[in-house]
Amino acid sequence: MGEFVRIEKDGAVATIRLDRPKMNAISSALHRELAECAREVDRDPEVGAVVLYGGERVFAAGADIKEMAGMSYGDMSAYCAALQGSFDVVAAVGKPVVAAITGYALGGGCELALCADFRVAGESAKLGQPEIQLGIIPGAGGTQRLPRLIGPARAKDLIFSGRHVDAGEALAIGLVDKVVPDAEVHAAAVALAATYAGGPALALRAAKQAVDRGLEVDLATGLEIERLHFSGMFATEDAGIGMRAFIDKTKPEFTGR
């Protein structure tokens, strides 16, 4: 769709492809295009699941430091708000999203991967939040999404040290969900996304929203969010299809309505 980000479709799975050589540095232009692509796949009824991919060589090696280096406090405050806003659009896609991680996913690249529901990494992938080594901290969700995923102590270790973790350690601490040979990363991510792509679209969206919003509130409020989403499913056509198929012992064919 843009100069640095495009959408590629394979059946019901759409890949949002970053393409800013050499390292997919996340510039203002790139994250704006990323957000627009995320909005596009979210509203496309033919898309059932999404893959985030940076190509065979690298996922994204971080923010565009050259773009950031000369910014003042005021400049950076506005820049960071825009960057977080773009990543929030990705995180809010109401469909299953899989990050396909090759090479480096560092800084903003790691933070982008954290916006996905699942992460598939190549065997030689490196992930991390190295901002501390520049005298700054993560600013696109690393201090918030990372501890929610792997726990505060492990997140603080990565953030305080700025060290890179390899694919094996990332799998062990829950930062990624699957490790495959480098050449198979995109195919494995598409295959994983495809397992969800044929599901009931409204129920998948509701489930994702219930989990994500529930993590932000206390248990009682989370249960109320769940109750409202659960009850709402009974106004959908897919709920009737699914229950009739269960009773009839047939495979449901969901309509997304």
Residues labelled catalytic: 63, 108, 111, 131
Distance CA 220, CA 16 (A): 36
DSSP assignment string, 129-168: -GGGGGT----SSHHHHHHHHH-HHHHHHHHHH--EEEHH
Radius of gyration of the chain (CA): 19
Element spanning 84, H or E: helix 73-91
Take residue 211 and report the two structure tokens written for it: 């989990």
Tell me the three state secondary structure of residue 19.
coil
Element spanning 237, H or E: helix 237-248
